Structures are given as structure tokens and as C-alpha cells.
Amino acid sequence: MTVNAAALTKSEQMPPAFDVERVRADFPILEENIHGNPLVFLDSAASAQKPRAVLNAMRYLYEHEYANVHRGIYYLSEVATNRFEAARTTVARFLNARHDHEVIFTRNATEAINLVAASWGRAFLQPGDEIIVSEMEHHANIVPWQMLRDEKGLVLKVAPISDEGVLRMDAFEALLGPRTRLVAMTHMSNVLGTVTPARDIVARAHAVGAKVLLDGTQAATHNVIDVQDIGCDFYAITGHKLYGPTGIGALWAREEILDAMPPYMGGGEMIDKVTFEKSTFAPLPNKFEAGTPAIAEAIGFAAAIDYINDHGMAAIAAHEQDVLTYANQRLATVEGLRIIGTAPGKASVISMVADFAHAYDIAMVIDREGVAVRTGNHCAQPLMARLGVDSTVRASLGMYNRRQDIDALVKSLEKVRRIFG
Amino acid sequence: MGQFDPDMMAHIKFNEFVENLRDLDDETRFEYILDLAKKHRDDPFPETDMSAKHEMHGCQAKVWIIHSRKEGRNYFRGHSNAAIVNGLVTMMTDSFSGWADEDIADLTIDHVRQLNLGSLTIQRQVGMMAMLKYMKKLSLDKVA
């Protein structure tokens, strides 16, 4: 993962001592009891919980500052517009974008990827052009490219991974060629926790003239992201995994690429002038934001990023790594349990299968202990096929998880083993 | 003694489940479902029927249901690779085996609710409804 010191905020350069109990106190839902047990939330990779700062920011907007944004000649609209555009600035700084207008608000990372496929892909790819994805992609970074392949007559290639879940760079390199136009790759697997070598991927892809899209859905939650340092062309993130609300995400792309791309959707906000004969389009970023945007959600997203920055992403990552290491040690003591995905430097996702119970049974039993994990294929069916499993139990960590959560997980897994073993 | 009513006889198993589950707390209900799954260890579901042909979709775990007809009535057997789902599918297939076509066609979510699965109902309602729908389809397909 790349870290550009110049991109770090003051709080990241001098992170305060990370106090997980103080963090937990900011997340009201963590006080809930589930089936009579304290909630142990280990499903942040699906969607993270929200701190009061996010809830308060959205509530304050609706109670005091809400109006539709852009072009309203009255006080509230100006305030809301300023807040909305400030949120864009916050996201841009979070990614270390060169310009605020390189950040396009979307509903989520899925829409961000689809935007690239529908706009850049349709405009610039020709029959026979090649797109490379990896074996460990989320469906959101497979299906849009399949749809585009079928529409445009493209070739979709798949870079393999090792049994440990590491991207095989030699095999990836072998797939690159003169017809490779795009490498669309996860920056961190939502199933394996593998962090891909983004800079290396970009360097090799750029060497053959291909552009690189990184699905940063998971990576941005656990690491400092610097798109300039990585050197990629597109970066997709989502708000709700970053402790923000649902319904808001962002696509970052370099200005010159976005300028060249045609609009994705037509409607209000994205136009310059409309007649029945012709329309001209607004400059960036509005060109890609047709219709009334998710105003409160964008502001909530920015509040979440501010909250992360207050604690320092580097400090959060270090804390999560400590809990992950502890989890790996403790889970190794559960007889019959196997962790899927052991790539060096992996981040806060632990996929497991057990020889004593199906993933579904595990999740059902441990739910009764208040432990929330996710089971299934995690929107990565090709990866499941590659791993030879139909389902895993996935425990994923957020900044609020602590070692006690792992103890509760292990205790509940031992109960499962007693029941089914 | 009243006259023999084949429909009433066929519905005995369903009514028995309804009765057995009525007053159980969540924990005991959970154990009851698991016991149902274990019961079928003595009479295992044929491995040859664990095929794509008999697999239904809509559950996270794999579920297979086979259907046969005898004297105008529907008979089901089911299995899952997850124990809890195995218990649930066993309950569903045992409940509605022997039912006439028109009764199978009339199955609704209310029948699942009558089983009083407590918190299991909330968590697994989608899967249970998928099973119900699949069983209705099997019945209809055989009729056709």
C-alpha cells in the first residue's frame, strides 16, 4: 500500500494514541444486545457501522441547512451547496486527488465502476480490445466488463491467484499485450483480505499503454490511499464501508480522462444548455452527476472521513492489524477450522471454512451468541470456484473491533464445534 | 369413529409439527430442528439425487428436493449440506408429503408462519418461501 507523507493530514502525521474504547463509545449501535448477548459486529466488510459524527452531520443538515444544491439563489441552497462541495473536497483530499473535480459522486463503488464501463468503455474500446481482471474480483468488477465485452466484442482475461490468495504477477504480466486497454483490479479482496500491489500493477499496465481501474471498496477502509502516488487512472470507493451512509460513493479519475469521457446519464445538473435540437454539457464534475445528488449522504460521507482523519488512518490500520494478528492466532486454536486467504500483508478480512459445520450453520449458531458475520460467496462466485468452496464464513474488522470480539468469536465457534462436531 | 379422511390423514404430520413447536422457546426450537436433521442420518438422502437436476436455488446452502406422486398425492424428500437447513427442509418436505395437488397449490406463507419457527422464521423466511415455491413448482410440473 502506498503512503505519501505529503498527502497525510496533520492528524495522520501525528496520530493520537488509538483508544478503541473511545472509538466504540462513538458508535451507538455497539451498545445493542442481540439474542440477549452484547453485539459483536464482525461484518464491516459488508457495511460498517456509523459513528455519531455521521448521524449528527446528516441530522443537522436536514434540521438546519437542507435545500437542493446548485443554482439556488437563496441562503439555504447556498449553504447546502457549500456543504456538498466541501464534501467533495474532503473525499478528494482523502484520496489525494489533484483536483476536487476529479471526484465524481456516485451511489457506490459499483456505480463508479459501471460509470467507467458505460462511458469510457463504450467511447474508447474497440472490438478485440482486452480487459484484464483478477480471479478475486467482486462481481461488481466482473459483470460490467462482461456486459461491455458482449456489447463491444471485447476480450476479458483473468489474472490468476495463488492458493494463498496472492495475485500471480508473472501470470498477470503474461496476459498484458498490445491489445490490453484496461486492467480492472481489486485493491483489496473482500473475501481474502489480499492487498494487491497497486503500483506494480499500474507500472506494468501502463508499460503496454493500458489504463488501470482499482476497486478500492475495501482498501480505502483500511489504508491511506494516494491515487497520485499509485498512479492509477480510475479509483472507485463507497461511503458505507467507510463508516458513512449508504447511497454514496465516488469515482476518482484523472482530469484529462474525465474530460474526454462522454456523459454517463442525461438529466438535470449535468447540462450546460438544452434545446430540442441539442444539449451541451456542464464541466467536471457535474457532467457525470445527472439529477439531484445524494446531498445528505455526501455530507455524511465527508463526516465519516473527518472522523477517520481525527483518529488517523495509519493508527486505525495499525490497530486493525493488531486485532487481525490476534485473530489469526486465536482462530488457529479452533480444531477443524481453516482460514482461506493467507497472503502476506493482508488486511482485516478473515474467511473461514470448517470441517465440522457448514458456513451457514456456523453463522446461524454464532448469531445466537450475538456474533455477526457474513456467510456465502460474498459476491465472488468465480473466486469461490477457484478456491473449491461454495461458501465461507467471513469475519471482517472495523476500527471499533477489539481483541475481546475475537475471543467471543472463538468461543462461539467452539460452541458450534460442540454442536456439530 | 368418523369416516376416514385422506386429506386429514395427510395433514397430520404438518399439524404435529405445529403442535410440537407451539410452546417451545427459541433454544429448544433450534434443537428440535437440528434433531430433525439428524433423524435422517438413518435414512440418508440418495447421493445420486444431490444433483443439479434436483437442486433448488434461493438458499445460501445447497438444497435438493425430489418429488414423486402416488395415488394422486405429492411426496417430497429433501436434503441440504447445512445441518440447520437440512432440518428445515425436512420439516417442509415431511409436512407437505401426502398432500393433494390443490392443497399444495394453496400453500402460502401462512403455513410457514403456523410452524412457529420463532426467530428462525425471521432469519430464514426467504429460504423457506423459496422451498415452498419450489415444492409447488415440482407438484405443478408433475401434473403437467
Contact list in B for residue A380 (CB cut-off 8 A) is none
Q: Considering only the beta carbons, identify the residue of A35, A360, A419 that sits closest to B82.
A: A360
A379 is catalytic: yes
pLDDT tens track, chain A, 421 positions: 444 434 444 444 555 689 999 999 999 999 999 989 999 999 999 999 999 999 999 999 999 999 999 988 899 999 999 999 999 999 999 999 999 999 999 999 999 999 999 999 999 999 999 999 999 999 999 999 999 999 999 999 999 999 999 999 999 999 999 999 999 999 999 999 999 999 999 999 999 999 999 999 999 999 999 999 999 999 999 999 999 999 999 999 999 999 999 998 999 889 888 999 999 999 999 999 999 999 999 999 999 999 999 999 999 999 999 999 999 999 999 999 999 999 999 999 999 999 999 999 999 899 999 999 999 899 999 999 999 998 999 999 999 999 999 999 999 999 999 998 7
Taking only the tens place, the pLDDT of each residue in B58-88 is 777 889 999 999 988 999 999 998 998 899 9
Pseudo-torsion of CA A304, A308, A310, A311, nearest 10°?
A: 150
pLDDT at B129: 84
Q: What is the pLDDT of residue B92?
A: 92
pLDDT at B3: 60
* Cβ atoms within 10 Å of A246's Cβ, excluding its own: 16
CA angle A40, B126, B11 (to 5 degrees): 125
Strands A234-238 and A249-253 come out as: antiparallel
The better pLDDT of the pair A106, B123 is held by: A106
Residue-level pLDDT at B143: 55
CB-based contact (8 Å) between B60 and chain A? yes
Given pLDDT bands bounded at 50, 70 and 90, which one contains residue B118? low
> What ipTM, to 2 d.p.?
0.81
Partners of residue A418 in chain B, C-beta under 8 Å? none
What is residue B6's three-state secondary structure? helix
Q: Is the pLDDT of residue B115 over 90?
A: no
Judging contacts by C-beta atoms under 8 Å, the chain B residues touching residue A367 are 123
Q: Which three cell numbers stand for residue A364?
A: 446461524
Task: List the single best residue of A37, A360, A362 to mutate versus B (max B Cβ within 10 A).
Answer: A360
C-alpha cell at A182: 484496461
Residues of B in contact with A360 (CB under 8 A): 59-61, 82, 84-85
> Is B68's Cβ below 8 Å from some Cβ in A?
no
| Alpha-helical regions (H) of A96-197 | 109-115, 122-124, 143-152, 169-175
Contact A358 B119 (CB under 8 A): no
Domains of chain B (ranges; CATH) run 6-141 (3.90.1010.10)
Inter-chain CB proximity B30 and A35 less than 8 Å:
no
Tell me the C-alpha distance between A155 and A211, whole Å: 15
List Cα–Cα distances, B77 to A366, B59, B128, B131, in angstroms: 28, 17, 15, 12
Measure Cα distances from A376 to A177, A272, B46, B119 in Å: 35, 46, 25, 20
CB contact under 8 A, A391 and B60: yes
Question: Chain B closest CA to A380's CA: distance in Å?
Answer: 13
Residue of A376, A390, A420 with shortest CB distance to B83:
A420
| Residue in chain B lying closest to A367 (CA) | B123
Q: Cα distance from A363 to chain B (closest Cα, Å)? A: 11
Query: Across residues B13-24, what is the average pLDDT?
Result: 90
Kindly report whether the peptide bond that precedes residue A344 is cis, defined as omega within 30 degrees of 0: no
Question: How many A-B residue pairs are in contact by the CB < 8 A criterion?
Answer: 35
Tell me the residue ranges of DSSP E strands in A42-154.
103-106, 130-134
Find the closest chain A residue to B27 by CA distance.
Answer: A368
Interface touch B61/A419, C-beta < 8 Å: no
* Cα separation, A146 vs A162, whole angstroms: 23
Asked if A359's CB is within 8 angstroms of B34's CB, the reply is no
pLDDT at res. B142 = 65
Q: CB–CB of A198/A228 below 8 Å?
A: no
Closest-CA distance of chain A to residue B3, Å: 44
Q: Report the gap between the CA of B4 and the closest CA in chain A (Å).
A: 41
Residue B123 forms contact with A (CB below 8 Å): yes
Residue of A nearest to B58 (CA): A376
Q: Are A360 and B34 an interchain contact pair (Cβ–Cβ within 8 Å)? A: no
Q: Which among B26, B83, B123 has the least Cβ separation from residue A361? A: B83
Q: Which residues of A touch B34 (CB under 8 A)?
A: 419
Look at residue A304 in the predicted model and tell me its pLDDT: 98
Distance from CA of B47 to the nearest CA of A (A): 18
Question: Is the model's pTM score more than 0.80?
Answer: yes
What pLDDT is attached to residue B117? Answer: 78
What is the rounded distance in angstroms from the CA atom of residue A197 to the CA atom of residue A187?
8
| Residue in A87, B11, A352 with CA at minimum distance from that of residue A361 | A352
Buried residues in A332-349 as b, exposed as e (16+ CB within 10 A): eebeebebbbbbeebbbb
Q: Which positions in chain A have a beta carbon within 8 angstroms of at least one beta carbon in chain B?
A: 35, 357-361, 364, 367-368, 375-376, 390-391, 419-420
Nearest to A358 among B30, B81, B123 (CB): B81
Note whether B119 contacts A35, CB cutoff 8 Å.
Answer: yes
Catalytic residue among A25, A53, A143, A379: A379
Nearest chain B alpha carbon to A379: B60
Sheet architecture: strand order including B55-56: B55-56, B63-70, B73-80, B99-100
- Residue B124: pLDDT band with limits 50, 70, 90: low
Angstroms from B130 CA to nearest CA on chain A = 16
Q: Which residues of B touch A419 (CB under 8 A)?
A: 34
Task: Note which residues in 13-32 of chain B have CB less than 8 A from chain A.
Answer: 26-27, 30
Note whether A181 and A211 are within 8 A (CB).
yes
List the single residue in B82, B119, B123 with the smallest CB-CB distance to A358: B82
